[in-house]
Amino acid sequence: PRCVAGFGVVAVSAARAARNAVIPLWATHLGLDAATASLVFGLAGAADLLLFYPSGRLMDRFGRRAVAVPCLTLLGAGFLAISLTREPTAFAAAAVLLGIGNGFGAGIVMTLGADHSPPNARAPFLGLWRSMSDAGMLAGPLLLSGATAAAGLAVGVGSLAVVCGVGAVVFAAVLPRGPGAVADPPPVVVRPR
The domain limits of the chain are 2-174
| pLDDT tier for residue 185 given thresholds of 50, 70 and 90 | low
190 band by pLDDT with thresholds 50, 70 and 90: low
* pLDDT tier at 137, thresholds 50, 70, 90: very high
Segment 157-177 mean pLDDT? 97
Q: State the fold for domain 2-174.
A: Growth Hormone; Chain: A; (1.20.1250)
**At CB < 8 A and 24+ separation, what contacts does 87-91 make?**
87/30, 88/30, 88/32, 88/36, 88/40, 91/26, 91/27, 91/30, 91/32, 91/40
Mean pLDDT of the chain: 94
Provide the pLDDT confidence category of residue 192 given band limits of 50, 70 and 90: low
How confident is the model at residue 31, as a pLDDT?
Answer: 98
DSSP H helix total and E strand total for the chain: 8, 0
- What is the pLDDT confidence band of residue 4, given thresholds at 50, 70 and 90? confident
Please give the pLDDT value at position 186. Answer: 65
Pick the range with the lowest mean pLDDT from 3-12, 150-159, 177-186.
Answer: 177-186
**Does the pLDDT value for residue 78 go beyond 80?**
yes
Note the pTM of the prediction, 2 decimals: 0.92
